[in-house]
Structure 1
Amino acid sequence: MDRYLNVFISVAEQQSFSKAAKLHHMTQPAVSQYIRTLEERMNTKLLDRNNKRVHLNKAGEIVYHYSKEIMGMYERMHYLVDDLNHTANGPLKIGASYTFGEYILPHIIAKTKEHCPEVQPIVTIGNTEEIAALVENHQLDIGIVEGHFKNRTLIPHKFAEDEMIIVATPTHPLLQKSHITHHLLETQTWIVREEGSGTREALNNVFKLLAISPNNLIHFSSTQPIKASVESGLGISFLSKWAVKKELARGELVAVDMNFLPYKRTFAYLTHSPFQTKSLEVFIDILCHHQLD
């Protein structure tokens, strides 16, 4: 059955029988037969054909979603069994939210490769909600997220603290004030992450703490353009110290001094299986003992 699901996933993602046939080294009629057999087992059509392309219908979307989850579990089962008799090796699917993924994770992976050269890290970067969903659907072996986390099936394992600060360009008018009030912060242009990210959640918590509701928000889906925007004087932002460590050292950005800062949040990792490969065990051990300084 896994072969049928694999072929179906390829057709759905490639939107083409011929492209899926090439991926699986099959003939196009053979791919068509696999899809027909799967549709017969599901007792419904899964694909619509239009202008030489194929698209998932509603039933197809459901089957595709669970096929990805099933194949992720099947692949993980295979590696766990194979792992019993071998040293740490093979793919390790790691997901991380942007702050950790862009500024800390590369160091963890480098240490993991030192200990286990045959491990093959496959990294996905996304916001906290996206990473949690991929772990829940068994498409990632581990996910690293930041901030408060809500999920009925995944339990976060906290392993480190992160400090967050307000940053501005050194010439920003806000820094010329002798006293920065909460009202003054409310009137600023804020360069912010999208809803669903851990960084945005932390900022929303700070807004609640200060009882302010800034109206002038500019949204970006990653940290790099936020830093560039702040450096250009477009506005201020609220970011992890890790994310702005180099810019602070070079004087390109400065921290806005407020009595409630730094704001602290936690980094946590998520898994969705009681079993761990040797590669994942090594990675988690290095992750939990890495010094964030």
Structure 2
Amino acid sequence: MHITLRQLEIFRAVAQFGRVTGAAESLYISQPAASMALSELEKHLGPLFDRNQGAGLKMNDAGRALLPKACELIDRAKELEMQFAGTGSYKSGLLVMNASSTIGNNLLPKMLSKFSKENQGVRVEMDIDNTRVIEQRILDFKIDLAVVEGTCVHPDIAVTTWLADELVIICRPGHPLANKSNIPLTALSDEFWVLREQGSGTRELFDEMIAPQLNSPKVAMILNRSEAVKQAVSDGVGIACISSLAAKSALDSGHMATIGVIGLNLKRHFYLIAHKKKYRSAVFEQLCDFIVGWSPL
């Protein structure tokens, strides 16, 4: 049996894209070359994908078993290349991470800037999306790690509790309830709401803690970024429930106000997540340790 790293790279790309064409494009090789490499790998290991006409390639049980092992071998090979390519150090490499909107827009720029200054050999690529999309990318080994605001309970995902956060209900400064406290939630029954999209941690907490007590909330708009939610509230579209972290600058400047609802507990945590079978290289551990030990204060 002779399996090459290139075959494993092509297998991983096909697993991530679901099609040989997309995998070939991502690796800058021809589609026939990718198909041949995958075929050779399956000659050694047996079928790794279910092939349905017009539906792309979907990993079977053997493919799912191989994926974490293939990713580890590829990552270990890259780690060796970095150490012996002139740096002579394990403290060099590339990590791909994701963050949910609140964290990515308000915490990550400052945090990653500090990390980069202290670890100049490590490059971090970061993208922002909602918790459920990020969770699936972790499961598919498309990214190395992530920080999210929604809870993750999948058995294959390792979760580390990170920072505390709290949601607040915001409105425009001229709203009749602006900056008032001890307001019963029922007083907001006739208000129009600007909500985050399904799959975001903020929306999940709203649906769990607020929506059931309003019977059927009046939804004016659904947006996928906290900045867009704040702008809609500022424009008078409705009220919203977002992270106090995301609302802080607007509240401090007086461009936004809060509505203090009595008896409503909207506290939560942010989480660091990674696949349990993900190979933890030296630079991976560096970034994880930095995130866990970092404080915005």
TM range (shorter): 0.7 to 0.9
Residue in 2 that maps onto 1:291: 295
Residue in 2 that maps onto 1:72: 71
SS at match of 1:184: helix
Residue in 1 that maps onto 2:58: 61
SS at match of 1:276: coil
Residue in 1 that maps onto 2:207: 204
Q: Identity over the aligned pairs, expressed in percent? A: 23
Residue in 2 that maps onto 1:259: 262
Unaligned runs of 5+ in 2: none
SS at match of 1:270: strand
- Partners of 1:188 and 1:214 within 8 A in 2: no
Q: Output one character per residue of 1:33-64: Cα deviation in whole Å (capped at 9) or x when no partner.
A: 4455467653988486xxxxxx653xx2336x
**TM-score normalised per structure 2:** 0.78
Residue in 1 that maps onto 2:166: 163
Equivalent position amino acid for 1:61 in 2: K
RMSD over aligned Cα atoms: 3.6
| Deviation at residue 180 of structure 1 after TM alignment | 3.2
| Deviation at residue 22 of structure 1 after TM alignment | 9.9
Q: What is the alpha-carbon distance in structure 2 between the residues aligned to residue 134 and residue 166 of structure 1?
A: 31
Equivalent position amino acid for 1:277 in 2: S
SS at match of 2:229: helix
Equivalent position amino acid for 1:202 in 2: L
Moved more, 248-257 or 228-237: 248-257
Residue in 2 that maps onto 1:277: 281
**TM-score normalised per structure 1:** 0.79
Q: Output one character per residue of 1:62-115: Cα deviation in whole Å (capped at 9) or x when no partner.
A: 36x858766533333334556776241111121211111121111111111011
SS at match of 1:73: helix
Decide which of 136, 142, 162 is 1:133's aligned counterpart.
136
- Partners of 1:156 and 1:270 within 8 A in 2: yes
Aligned length: 283
Unaligned runs of 5+ in 1: 49-54
1:3 partnered with 2:28: no
Equivalent position amino acid for 2:187 in 1: L
| Deviation at residue 227 of structure 1 after TM alignment | 1.2
SS at match of 2:245: coil
| Deviation at residue 5 of structure 1 after TM alignment | 5.2
Q: What is the alpha-carbon distance in structure 1 between the residues aligned to residue 160 and residue 9 of structure 2?
A: 33
The within-5 A match list for 1:105-184 is: 105-175=108-178, 180-184=183-187
Distance 1:214 1:119, change over 3 A: same
1:99 partnered with 2:102: yes
Moved more, 118-127 or 178-187: 178-187
Equivalent position amino acid for 2:109 in 1: P
Q: What is the alpha-carbon distance in structure 2 between the residues aligned to residue 247 and residue 35 of structure 1?
A: 53
Q: Output one character per residue of 1:2-57: Cα deviation in whole Å (capped at 9) or x when no partner.
A: 4345446479959786994795456x654554455467653988486xxxxxx653
Q: What is the alpha-carbon distance in structure 2 between the residues aligned to residue 21 and residue 155 of structure 1?
A: 31
1:192 partnered with 2:195: yes
Residue in 2 that maps onto 1:51: none
Equivalent position amino acid for 1:72 in 2: C
